[in-house]
Amino acid sequence: MGKKIEIHDFEPKIMAFVCKWCTYSGADLAGTSRMDYSPNVRMIRLPCSGRIDPQFMIKAFEQGADGVFVSGCHPGDCHYNEGNYYARRRNTTFRQLLDFNGIDIERIEFSWISAAEAIKWTEVIDAFTDKVRELGRHPQYNDDIVDPYAQFLVQKKQESA
Amino acid sequence: MIEEIRNQARQLLENGEVDVVIGYAEGSDPSRTTPIFVRKAEDVEKLIYDSRCINSLPIYLNKRHEYTRKGWKKSAIIGKGCDIRAIVQLIAENQLKRDEVYILGVPCEGVVSHPDKWDGSLHDGNRASKCTGCDVMTPHETDFFPGEKPEVDRSKPYEVTSPKVANLMELELDKRFAFWRTDFDRCFKCYACREVCPHCSCNVCITDETTPSWIDPAAHKKGIFSWHLTRAMHLVGRCTGCGECTRACPMDIQVDLFNQRMKEVVQESYSYKPGYSLEDKHPLITYKVDDREDFIK
């Protein structure tokens, strides 16, 4: 019943910032329904998509994520009435900002997924993982932001070996 | 023109209507001017205004600064159009009350881009890029204005004044990234762009927070992109385009290109121009049900 397991050279790291009322429950439903979806995604549950500060996404990229996924309730369904409307405006501008900086906005995905849309969740995550896998590692940004302390530790380890 | 401003400032100080007049005075050399706080009526002769007056004075009205905690109830401020835009934006964001400030508007002919380029007169070679296409050379919100205030049409959309923004947008993604990478190579996170900004109002800046440390404070490359993206993101829909961040940058990084691009985006998406209305909320703290969502899956 499960999907065929494929082996790839590169497995992207994908951070997902999700709303606890809709998308997290949707992903939960996918799990309890024994659906398969790409294991590359690392989820962080937040109270609302309006809580998702662009700072989180910037930090995720800085820490080596290859793609960032943002998701919340459909417009009109927000548990706090209006949080996802703010999220929508924020992401509209944030994407343009990243684009102006020369960071591929294909690496950011925004999606409305409700608690009942487990199938949509698996589809969107699989498609996004494939897209990021094709784009490859996020070289431009990652090369610049390698942590000097981590580099030092690696170097020390190599020397002692 | 400056005589009328001086007379008005003298009157305000003598009547006790304001506690301080913030303006410009002659600086350390002929090409420079410096901000001055006039508290005595006899000192108003020090006030000047011409094209060398490039500093943005509204930062002294921002609550982040200690000047605002000196117990001054009301300040008068000499404002050129772009500074008055910043004041209006501060009022719209509830950082300042309209009756706490007395705006002495000046007619402006543009300012120099940098004091070093001043050669005695203002011409196309040394005019700041923000002054082309400026629609507030006659200021829009004033308490006092020398002479008659002509009507100006300010309904036109925001115009990107630096040609570099359009040039960058034409480049491919990788080239654009390479441009910023070489530019940001020089950045050592002195945060002059933050200190000089009239709209950075946080008491504790996100870069100064340590638990958690969002942006790496060390002067290596890590965190430089984060810092510039964060700064630009915090100013989306709020930046009034005084261009002080670029002028203050000791490494000549053109950080205001980000702000200009974002102003363009905000204008396209939400038809909002910051700094023109005392009441309108900036676009990221409000919403419409039918906002564009073409990027959402």
Per-residue pLDDT of B168-185, as tens digits, reads 888 998 899 889 988 888
Residue range A115-142: average pLDDT? 88
Domain boundaries, chain A: 14-160
Residue B192's pLDDT band, with cuts at 50, 70 and 90, is very high
Could you say which of A55, A95, A141 has the minimum Cβ distance to residue B295? A95
- Whether residue A155 lies within 8 A of chain B, CB to CB, comes out as no
Report yes or no: A26 and A113 within 8 Å, Cβ to Cβ.
yes
Residue A143: burial class (beta carbons within 10 Å; 0-12, 13-18, 19+): exposed
Strands B33-38 and B20-26, bridge-based pairing: antiparallel
| Domain identity same for B113 and B35 | yes
Interface touch B285/A86, C-beta < 8 Å: yes
CA–CA distance from A133 to each of A39, A98, A127, A129, B271 (Å)?
A: 13, 20, 10, 6, 37
Q: How far is B58 from chain A (nearest CA, A)?
A: 26
Residues of A in contact with B214 (CB under 8 A): 55, 59
Average pLDDT score, chain B: 88
| Domain identity same for B99 and B180 | no
What is the reported pLDDT for A141? 65
| Domain identity same for B40 and B125 | yes
| Domain identity same for B18 and B75 | yes
Task: Please state, in angstroms and rounded to a whole number, the distance separating the CA atoms of residues A64 and A43.
Answer: 15
Q: What is the DSSP string of B262-275?
A: HHHHHHHHH---TT
Q: How far is A123 from chain B (nearest CA, A)?
A: 11
Q: Which domain holds residue B43?
A: 2-131
| Domain identity same for B19 and B90 | yes
The sign one gets for the Cα dihedral A84, A86, A89, A95 is: negative
Could you say which of B206, B232, B288 has the minimum Cβ distance to residue A97? B232
What is the reported pLDDT for A137? 82
Instruction: Report the domain count for chain B.
Output: 2
Neighbours of A79 (CB within 10 A): 14
- Whether residue A2 lies within 8 A of chain B, CB to CB, comes out as no
DSSP helix/strand/coil, A58: helix
Average pLDDT score, chain A: 88
Cis check for the bond before B139: say yes or no (omega within 30 of 0).
no
Give the side-chain half-sphere CA count within 13 A for A115. 8
CATH number of A14-160: 3.40.50
Task: Please list, residue by residue across B87-122, b when 16 or more beta carbons sit within 10 angstroms of its beta carbon and e when fewer do.
Answer: bbbbbbeebbeeeebbbbbbbbebbbbebeebeeeb
- Whether residue B261 lies within 8 A of chain A, CB to CB, comes out as yes
Find the residue in B nearest to A102 (Cα).
Answer: B177
pLDDT at A2 over 90: no
Summarised one tens digit per residue, pLDDT across range A60-96 is 888 888 899 999 999 999 999 999 999 999 999 999 9
Which strand (E) or helix (H) includes residue A45? strand A41-46
Amino acid identity, position A143: D
- Which among A89, A94, A97 is positioned nearest to B286, based on CA atoms? A89
Task: Please state, in angstroms and rounded to a whole number, the distance separating the CA atoms of residues A129 and A27.
Answer: 15
Task: Please state, in angstroms and rounded to a whole number, the distance separating the CA atoms of residues A95 and A101.
Answer: 10
Task: Please list, residue by residue across A86-96, b when 16 or more beta carbons sit within 10 angstroms of its beta carbon and e when fewer do.
Answer: bbbbbbbbbbb
CA–CA distance from B187 to each of A62, B195, B227, B251 (Å)?
A: 17, 15, 10, 7
What is the reported pLDDT for B297? 81
Amino acid identity, position A105: I
* pTM, to two decimals: 0.88
Inside any domain, residue B90: yes
Residue range B199-224: average pLDDT? 84
Could you say which of B223, B287, B296 has the minimum Cβ distance to residue A110? B296
Q: Which residue has the tokens 């927000």?
A: A78
Summarised one tens digit per residue, pLDDT across range B125-159 is 888 888 888 888 888 888 988 888 888 888 888 88
User: In sequence order, what are the residues at sequence separation of 6 or more whose Cβ sits closer than 8 angstroms to the Cβ of residue B236?
Assistant: A93, A97, B262, B265, B266, B283, B284
pLDDT at A1 over 60: no
Report yes or no: B10 and B95 within 8 Å, Cβ to Cβ.
no
pLDDT at B3 over 60: yes
pLDDT at A56 over 80: yes
Summarised one tens digit per residue, pLDDT across range B46-81 is 899 988 888 889 999 888 887 777 778 889 999 988
Inside any domain, residue B115: yes
Inside any domain, residue B137: no
Question: Which value, in Å, is the radius of gyration of the alpha carbons in chain A?
Answer: 17
| Domain identity same for B123 and B179 | no
Task: Please state, in angstroms and rounded to a whole number, the distance separating the CA atoms of residues B222 and A91.
Answer: 24
Could you say which of B169, B229, B288 has the minimum Cβ distance to residue A58? B229
Residues above pLDDT 70, as percent of chain B: 100
Interface of B with A in 136-195 (CB under 8 A): 168-169, 173-181
Residue A18's pLDDT band, with cuts at 50, 70 and 90, is very high
Strands A67-72 and A108-112, bridge-based pairing: parallel
Q: For residues B278 and A7, which has the higher predicted lDDT (pLDDT)?
A: B278
Report yes or no: A27 and A18 within 8 Å, Cβ to Cβ.
yes
Interface touch A145/B225, C-beta < 8 Å: yes
Residues of A in contact with B233 (CB under 8 A): 54-55, 93-94, 97
Report yes or no: B113 and B86 within 8 Å, Cβ to Cβ.
no
| Domain identity same for B167 and B82 | no
Residue range B107-132: average pLDDT? 86
Could you say which of A55, A92, A146 has the minimum Cβ distance to residue B230? A55
Provide the CA B34 distance to its chain's centre, in angstroms: 16
Residue A121's pLDDT band, with cuts at 50, 70 and 90, is very high
What is the reported pLDDT for A140? 64
- Whether residue B255 lies within 8 A of chain A, CB to CB, comes out as no
pLDDT at B100 over 60: yes
DSSP helix/strand/coil, B116: helix
What is the reported pLDDT for A144? 59
Q: How far is B129 from chain A (nearest CA, A)?
A: 20
